[in-house]
Amino acid sequence: MSNIQEAPPRKSIVYHIPYVEEGRFIPLLKRLLRENWYNLYGSGDFVAVKLHFGEKGVTTHIKPHWVKEILSVWADKRVKFFLTDTVTLYHGARMDAVMYLNLIREHGFDTIGVPIIIADGLRGDEGVDIEINGQFYSYVNIATGIVKSDAMLVLTHFTGHELTGFGATIKNLGMGCSTRRGKLSMHSTLAPRVVLDRCKACGICARWCSVGAITVTEHAIIDEQKCSGCAACIAVCPEGAIRTNWNESSANAQRKIAEYALGAVKGKPVLYVTFLLNITKLCDCFPSDKIEGLDRGVLVSEDPVALDMASYELVDYEATMRKLRPEIDPLIQVRHAAEIGLGSMDYELITLGDVRKSGY
Ligand code: SF4
Ligand code: SF4
């Protein structure tokens, strides 16, 4: 028997900049990024800057000037940054690329001076199947703009979430980088349903259904056996008469999200910045109240699993947020992500400002 002891697995490093005031967090963040990740992105690289720009009426999303400051770290390199997100599964102001780009302009992101590209195309159906061999999925359908990027910078606003307890980096990757097909699959195990009293029998949905699953007589009827789950009909119905069956359990949705997250970052360098600021009861898809007293600052890591675990612990989720949705265990997404190899729940937190430990 060998006497050689196996070295303990290395913990993932998570840097923490406590929020004191913005004037302090921006310079520290820029210095941290420059000293550790300036060389992560090369001249000529297409780098997808993935973020949620906020639904109409939301004001607590990531601020455009934070993004501009962050990108200035690489200003002297010819990195091809582009800001990106995908369209929503539900009807709303982000349901197609044109509507979303108009809203993004309203929210001030056009002032950054970086191109903005909706990663899953005009109608949310431009994706590539990425092999992951997960528990739920052998392949996940990731937005083309994400797949074709050389690297990513993932900016995440930590929030409460009605399905997953909290929504953070894993959620930003998994749900946020998927096509509408992927979003439907993570939220539902059934074909979409028709709201009969809304349907005007116009036939548009049937023309868009590529597998002939919809027939229209007095109203549209979806054949569940034929439906391939592409979600196109939800998007094209002008009356909003085709809806998602939101029937997937929180536990399974969280595991599916983790598997999509694995596919989103497969094979490329990724840096993650998570903002524990303006934390709201619901995610940035809904205007909702900020939870006071929870501003914990900014986290940076190369490990999305460690980041979400650190976020959960820094906001003291069990004491401060669990009561919003006591029935949901939000760590299911984190544990599953660790099990499938997205990252590690074991992390070392280095708090900047503690000069002895961090050097800052
Ligand atoms: S597109 Fe909408 S309104 Fe038109 S037939 Fe289909 S469900 Fe009915
Ligand atoms: S989800 Fe796609 S395949 Fe299913 S009925 Fe709608 S358009 Fe057809």
User: Atom 6, ligand 2: which residue's CA is nearest?
Assistant: 233
Does the CB atom of residue 241 touch ligand 2 within 6 A?
A: no
Strand partners, 155: 273
Q: If DSSP codes are grouped into helix, strand and coil, which group holds residue 219?
A: coil
C-alpha 89/C-alpha 308 separation (Å) is: 24
User: Atom 8, ligand 1: which residue's CA is nearest?
Assistant: 199
Percent with pLDDT over 70 in the chain? 94
C-alpha 302/C-alpha 232 separation (Å) is: 35
Buried b (16+ CB within 10 A) or exposed e, 162-200: bbbbbbbbbbbbbbbbbbbbbbbbbbbeebbebeeeebe
Does the CB atom of residue 235 touch ligand 2 within 6 A?
A: no
Residue 202 C-alpha to ligand 1 middle, in angstroms?
A: 5
Backbone φ and ψ for 237, nearest 5 degrees, come out as -65, 120
Domains of the chain as residue ranges with CATH = 12-187+247-354 (3.40.50.11440), 193-243 (3.30.70.20)
Among all ligands shown, which has an atom nearest to the Cα of 203? 1
Residue 240 C-alpha to ligand 1 middle, in angstroms?
A: 8
Predicted pLDDT at 20:
66
273-278: average pLDDT: 96
- Is the pLDDT score of 7 beyond 80? no
85-107: average pLDDT: 95
If you average pLDDT over every residue of the chain, what do you get?
Answer: 94
How far does the chain reach from its first CA to its final CA, in angstroms? 45
pLDDT digits (tens, 9 = 90+) for 19-54: 766 567 898 999 999 999 999 999 999 999 999 999
Query: For a pocket test of ligand 2, which of 193, 211, 234 has the largest count of ligand atoms closer than 8 A to its C-beta?
Result: 211
Q: What pTM was estimated for this model as a whole?
A: 0.94
Residue 3 C-alpha to ligand 2 middle, in angstroms?
A: 60
Contact 158, 165 (CB under 8 A): no
pLDDT digits (tens, 9 = 90+) for 69-92: 999 999 999 999 999 999 999 988
| 357 confidence band (pLDDT: 50, 70, 90) | low
Q: Length of the chain, please?
A: 360
Q: Could you tell me which of 52, 257, 277 has the C-alpha nearest to residue 163?
A: 257
Does the CB atom of residue 230 touch ligand 2 within 6 A?
A: yes
pLDDT digits (tens, 9 = 90+) for 170-196: 999 999 999 999 999 999 999 999 999
Stronger pLDDT, 292 or 19, i.e. the higher one: 292
Predicted pLDDT at 91:
86
Residue 208 C-alpha to ligand 2 middle, in angstroms?
A: 8
Atom of ligand 1 nearest to the CA of 201: 5
Atom of ligand 2 nearest to the CA of 231: 1
Contact 177, 146 (CB under 8 A): yes
| 356 confidence band (pLDDT: 50, 70, 90) | low
What Å distances lie between residue 197 and 209, 233, 238, 243, 312, CA to CA? 21, 17, 14, 13, 43
Residue 215 C-alpha to ligand 2 middle, in angstroms?
A: 11
Among all ligands shown, which has an atom nearest to the Cα of 244? 2
Predicted pLDDT at 19:
76
Residue 199 C-alpha to ligand 1 middle, in angstroms?
A: 5
Alpha helices in 229-303 (DSSP H): 232-236, 250-264
C-alpha 177/C-alpha 160 separation (Å) is: 19
Among all ligands shown, which has an atom nearest to the Cα of 237? 1
223-248: average pLDDT: 95
Does the CB atom of residue 228 touch ligand 2 within 6 A?
A: yes
Buried b (16+ CB within 10 A) or exposed e, 329-357: bbbbbbbbbbebebbbbebebbebeeeee
Does the CB atom of residue 14 touch ligand 2 within 6 A?
A: no
Percent with pLDDT over 90 in the chain? 89
Among all ligands shown, which has an atom nearest to the Cα of 205? 1
C-alpha 260/C-alpha 182 separation (Å) is: 8
Does the CB atom of residue 213 touch ligand 2 within 6 A?
A: yes
Does the CB atom of residue 200 touch ligand 1 within 6 A?
A: yes
Predicted pLDDT at 2:
47
